[in-house]
Structure 1
Amino acid sequence: MLLGVCVLLASLPAWLGAADFDHHFSYNHRIQDPTFEQERETTPYDQLSTEEKQYVDAAIDGRSFDFEDDSREMPSVVERGGTDYALDSARSVDWLNPGSFGPVLGGIAGFWLVFEAVQHERAHLGPHGV
């Protein structure tokens, strides 16, 4: 059981250190009445770089993008032509990367070892735990 607990506990820091994250960018909706926070976070379209303008235009036209790294800081609200647009910029786990699913499999194996150890103890203690 101790081995299972160790494997289970070791999988969490291994996953945190090795997991690969992708970054998704897409259009969410047009903002009719912006909140104070949205007004504060609004980036004027003219202040965007050429590359950011291309991504924002394509996102508003319906495309979505997945980036392998977080080197781009994409805006969450853009004001273009007097209209505010809300954009999603989310981080998600890339489960196909071995650094992401390897530690998860280790955690499942650790959980299985603990479960089997408990079942083994229950089988040998008898019905009354003696």
Structure 2
Amino acid sequence: MFDGRDLHEAERWIDEWRCAIDERADRARILSVRLARLSETARSPDGLVTVTVGAGGDMTALDLGEGIRRRPAGDTAREIMATLRAARSRLLTAVTAVTHETVGADSATGRAVVEAFTAGVNRTD
């Protein structure tokens, strides 16, 4: 049924397939490590609000300049939220870049990662 040449060809194909799987797994691990280390910071146009977000898009730091005391609380709240959105937008840009560099933004893994982060960045809280 199979001659030696067919068997050799099948073994070569399996080895290539295994190497490709291992390579994709390595790139996915690298992506995971790099994504976990990401954070981004944004500053309001007037420089009074600075927001840092971690890898998941959650606020990890909020710095308010002393001049913020002279503003109405509602204005301050809106400026914090706008700056949070800006930091999350920067995070999404970084996630997209890291994904492109590691697994490729057009791969199934890459698309899933970017879509998940986009959903997280666009949440309202």
| TM-score in same-fold range (> 0.5) | no
Q: Going by fraction, where is strand more abundant, 1 or 2?
A: 1
TM-score interval (norm. to shorter):
0.3 to 0.5
TM-score by length of 2: 0.34
Bigger-Rg structure (1/2):
1
Ranked by relative contact order (alpha carbons within 8 Å, sequence separation 6 or more), the top structure is: 1
